[in-house]
Amino acid sequence: MASSADASHKAAMRQALELAKKSPPKPTNFRVGALLKRLDDGHVSAEGYTLELPGNTHAEECCLLKLAEEHSTIEEGLDAVMTSPHALYTTVEPCFKRLSGKLPCVERILRQKSWIKKVYVGVLEPETFVGKNPGRQLLEEGGVEVEYVAGFEEEILAVAAAGHTSS
């Protein structure tokens, strides 16, 4: 029998997957959904999906930018205003490298490790764009726990790769 914690993680991943479906399909990125949830009471503090905001934005980046705006600060200032520990749920493992030159999501999360304590992922990042992603290892070495939420892999990958051309 699944624990209530398992059910809660699956519900959050399902919510992140629904967000990913809002992302426009493009051949140059994965459609990803993410949300930040307070660990003490489960409150969802922010949601985001790939390309939700202008500027080639990733889902995790959108969560942080929206949360920063809500707290009248910049992304770099979130660690000063966020006092409750949170978990980040993301359908695809956070990126460690951006071909656009923007700050990778792994680095964004590590900048916020004072309050982002756990990252739950649905699948490892496919090697399509930047090869093998050491994101999980980098996060764990930086003090952020990473756990997988099983059961959504096939659906997450289908949503993530929508718009990609097959060769």
Supply the residues annotated as catalytic. 60
Residue pair 17/155 in contact (Cβ under 8 Å)? The answer is yes
The 10 Å Cβ neighbour count of residue 66 is: 18
Closest by CA to 50, choosing from 68, 28, 67, 70, is: 28
What's the Cα-to-Cα distance from 99 to each of 15, 29, 34, 129, 164, rounded to whole Å? 27, 10, 20, 8, 16
Q: Name the phi and psi angles at 159, rounded to 5.
A: -70, -45
Structure tokens belonging to residue 21: 């479906």
